[in-house]
Amino acid sequence: MKRLILYIMWLAVSLTANAQIENLDEIELLGTWNVIDKAGIFNTAQFPVYNSERKRPAAFVFADNSDSAVAWEFASGIEYQYYPGYWLTHTSDRYILHMATRLGYNGYTSLSLLNFVVTRFSDNTMTLQTYSGDGTLYLTKDTSAGVRSVSTDAGENSKAYLLNGSVAPENSKGVVITDGKKVIR
């Protein structure tokens, strides 16, 4: 009996530890993520992610079909650095965010990766940790970004659609969707 209770406790703890992030993909990252707090050290040999004397990340902008960006905060203002791509990889125990960046030095341009471990993702909040584990960024999603208003064409509502989503011919019989409601013709 004691073994059974210990096994159940071990199972509950292991399921809780792995259930923090489930099925995260690039689509869920789309939008603007503002850095609300940071802790630790953010230096890498190739790319200074955080250096209190030079720049700090203020926001991440993940875009589809265009460059993503990081807003870097300097003492003199904000500067955006653009990234031609980002993607997530998943190992058995963590998600890793990769951002490809173009670095220029003495007339040469090369690609470099900026990598973070996603340690928390839920309810429009995300926590990123440096690969070394020395620094942590706490982000919230700007849910108002990009949405101005929603409008529809008046003529669009009169169309009827089949259950597979295609436009129904005028003389079709059976179940169709008109004005968002199922109707039998």
Q: What is the pLDDT of residues 59-73, one digit of tens each?
A: 999 988 788 888 887
pLDDT band at 7 (very low <50, low <70, confident <90, very high): low
Domains of the chain and CATH, by start: 24-142 (2.40.128), 154-184 (no CATH)
User: Could you tell me the CA-to-CA distances from 128 to 42, 67, 106, 132, 151 in Å, in that order?
Assistant: 11, 20, 32, 12, 36
CA count, 13 A, side-chain hemisphere, 114: 24
Q: Which of 9-23, 64-78, 140-154 has maximum average pLDDT?
A: 64-78
Q: What is the pLDDT of residues 148-173, one digit of tens each?
A: 555 555 555 568 888 787 888 888 88
The mean pLDDT value for 118-143 works out to: 88
pLDDT at residue 139, as a whole number: 94
pLDDT at residue 147, as a whole number: 53
CA dihedral (15, 18, 19, 25) in degrees, to 10, reads: -150
